[in-house]
Amino acid sequence: MKKVAYQGVKGAYSHLACYHAYPKYEAIACKSFDETMYLVEEGEAEIAMIPMENTTAGRVEEIYRLIPKMKLYIISEHYETVNHCLLAIKGTKLQDIKSVSSHPQALAQCKNNIEKLHLEAIAKFDTAGSAEALLDMQDKTHAAIASSLAAQIYDLDILKEAFQDLQNNTTRFLVVSKEHLIPEFQTKQSYITSIIFEVSNIPAALYKVLGGFATNGVNIIKIESYAGCGTLTISQFHIDIDGHPQETNVKNALEELAYFANSVKMLGTYIPHSLRDITL
């Protein structure tokens, strides 16, 4: 059976994303993002599911720091709607609850509902770990905020679904692989190409590098800058563009990018997820 690696414990939202996107794969839990990517690099898993950003909490800083160093390629993206559930051990009633634990971001995303119930919020390392801990505690005054999958895995009651304050809460994941799999270009299909490049820290360097995209009519969807490239005289950037490298205008823009940039690394080309235009 093929394997997909994710960071977290069983029942985490990354686990749920694996379950929805790759239901026939065995999902492998990892303690860190480094370990997740390492499993794929060593061939112990075919792919990894990596969270990049959330509509409420913003980008996952650690991932953006790891991307320039990773030896893997992006082959797909997945959008997972986050449905926070208020969980408790079997037989617990809502009025019994006095406190709730979860990851700090989950607590922040449910802040108004937590306050309405007058609950004490306790920050923990992750959502699913908080759910798992309920089994050891066996305390009907304590709850956890986690996924419905966590409730199923740890045999917990769901006291409230959609416990988050904002209902349009979505996380964008990237699927990474050891193989650089580029989909065959088709004229009626949309594509995203992700790139990392370095420029010298001199006036107009970034302007010159990005100029080719403007003159060739290539849309830059997003751009991220990186510090800590080992020197203060080099700047590193991550961009996502609309288009496939086989398209003439994209090919011309990439040639100009290569001419002005110190180095260019193609991270991958993939088909946009169906939820992209209505979420992030």
DSSP states of 260-279: HSSEEEEEEEEPPPTTGGG-
Confidence band, pLDDT 50/70/90 cuts, at residue 98: very high
Pairing status of strand 99-102 against strand 142-146 = parallel
CA distance 250 to 231: 30
Task: Judge whether 248 counts as a catalytic residue.
Answer: no
CA distance 231 to 2: 40
For residue 278, the model assigns a pLDDT of 62
Map residue 4 onto helix, strand or coil. Answer: strand
For residue 238, the model assigns a pLDDT of 93
Which tens digit of pLDDT belongs to each residue from 192-230? 999 999 987 778 888 888 999 999 999 999 998 876 555
How many CB atoms sit inside 10 A of residue 140's CB? 16
Task: Please identify which of the residues 33, 163, 173, 260 carries the catalytic annotation.
Answer: 173
How many CB atoms sit inside 10 A of residue 25's CB? 18
For residue 265, the model assigns a pLDDT of 94
Task: Please identify which of the residues 127, 171, 193, 269 carries the catalytic annotation.
Answer: 171
Task: Judge whether 171 counts as a catalytic residue.
Answer: yes
For residue 235, the model assigns a pLDDT of 77
pTM confidence score: 0.87
Whether 105 shows a pLDDT value over 90: the answer reads no
- Domains of the chain plus CATH, in order, are 3-81+170-177 (3.40.190.10), 85-160 (3.40.190.10), 192-278 (3.30.70.260)
Across 114-130, average pLDDT: 94
Is 45 buried (19+), middle (13-18) or exposed (0-12) by CB count in 10 A? buried
For residue 232, the model assigns a pLDDT of 58
For residue 230, the model assigns a pLDDT of 59
Query: Residue 52: CB partners within 8 Å, gap ≥ 6?
Result: 59, 60, 63, 64, 171, 172, 173, 174
Across 10-17, average pLDDT: 94
For helices 248-260 and 205-215, angle between their N-to-C axes, nearest 10 degrees? 170
For residue 126, the model assigns a pLDDT of 86
Q: Which residue has the higher pLDDT, 22 or 67?
A: 22
AA identity, residue 236: Q
Supply the DSSP symbol for 95: G
Which tens digit of pLDDT belongs to each residue from 221-275? 999 887 655 555 677 899 999 999 999 999 999 999 999 898 999 999 999 999 8
Across 100-125, average pLDDT: 93
Quick one: tokens of 155?
């045999």
With b for 16 or more beta-carbon neighbours within 10 A and e for fewer, the 213-248 pattern comes to beebebeeeeeeebeeeeeeeebbbbbbbbbbbebe
The mean of the pLDDT values for the chain is 92
Return the closest-CA partner of residue 81 out of 166, 151, 190. Answer: 166
- Whether residue 233 contacts residue 201, with contact meaning beta carbons closer than 8 Å, is answered with yes
Pairing status of strand 234-242 against strand 26-30 = unpaired
Query: Given phi > 0 = left and psi -120 to 50 = alpha, else beta, which region is 217?
Result: left
Across 65-81, average pLDDT: 92
Q: Which residue has the higher pLDDT, 114 or 57?
A: 114
Question: How far is C-alpha 19 from the chain's CA centre?
Answer: 15
Length of the chain measured in residues: 280
For residue 279, the model assigns a pLDDT of 52
